[in-house]
């Protein structure tokens, strides 16, 4: 192996990192989430769109509002996680572009005046940022439990507004007892990569 990233970091972020299904009681603090964000905010997005928005579902009352919108198989996982993050895409991200793309502030109107274009861009770029967030949770030494098994309309109505659409929900914490199954296989290089 000749990767520049040292083997311990490779293990922490990818090789040994796993999607946790159970968690310990150890709290995840707002300060930890701030450190994660302050790392992963640098991940690239198209035109620096940065459409990811995060709702931390922390209070027992909010947790109780979230549970019914998860598919049943995900409810116990989320109940055991000390912190749950709803990751959403802001379809009105273009309002921030004059600040985020200062060398061409007109990009807001030149490229993003159409809602359908914004929606498509927000979906792609918030997904990229969701992946950076998962990597960031692992960089903090925590386990992430990303889930797409939930009712998007229900979660949107409960925790977001009409401009923000949910991308995924991530359970966050220290892995608990029997936190995961054996790792599933991955596709071989030859199944994924072709050269022309």
The smaller minimum CB distance to a copy of itself, of residues 80 and 86, is found at 86
In angstroms, give the least distance from the CB of 50 to a copy of itself: 5
The smaller minimum CB distance to a copy of itself, of residues 7 and 76, is found at 7
Structure tokens at 187: 């596709």
The smaller minimum CB distance to a copy of itself, of residues 22 and 50, is found at 50
Q: Is 50 left (phi over 0), alpha (psi -120 to 50) or beta?
A: left
In angstroms, give the least distance from the CB of 127 to a copy of itself: 4
Residue 152 CA: distances (Å) to CA of 59, 61, 68: 21, 19, 12
In angstroms, give the least distance from the CB of 15 to a copy of itself: 6
In angstroms, give the least distance from the CB of 177 to a copy of itself: 19
In whole angstroms, give the CA distance from residue 107 to residue 187. Answer: 39
Q: For CA atoms 124, 128, 133, 134, give the dihedral sign.
A: positive
- Identify the helix (H) or strand (E) that includes residue 155: helix 152-159
The smaller minimum CB distance to a copy of itself, of residues 13 and 67, is found at 13
């Amino acid at each position: 192996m000749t990767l520049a990233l040292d083997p311990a970091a490779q293990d922490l972020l990818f090789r040994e990192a796993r999607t946790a299904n159970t968690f310990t009681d150890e709290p995840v603090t707002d300060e930890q989430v701030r450190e994660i964000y302050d790392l992963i905010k640098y991940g690239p997005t198209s035109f620096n769109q940065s459409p990811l928005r995060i709702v931390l579902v922390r209070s027992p009352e909010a947790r109780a509002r979230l549970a019914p919108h998860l598919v049943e198989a995900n409810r116990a996982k989320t109940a055991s996680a000390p912190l749950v993050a709803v990751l959403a895409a802001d379809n009105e991200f273009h309002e921030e572009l004059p600040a985020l793309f200062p060398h061409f502030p007109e990009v807001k109107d030149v490229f993003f005046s159409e809602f359908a274009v914004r929606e498509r861009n927000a979906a792609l770029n918030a997904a990229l940022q969701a992946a950076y967030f998962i990597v960031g949770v692992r960089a903090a030494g925590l386990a992430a439990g990303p889930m797409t098994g939930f009712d998007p309309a229900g979660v949107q109505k409960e925790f977001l507004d009409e401009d923000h659409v949910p991308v995924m929900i991530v359970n966050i914490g220290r892995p608990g007892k029997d936190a995961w199954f054996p790792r599933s296989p991955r596709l071989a290089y030859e199944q994924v990569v072709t050269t022309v």
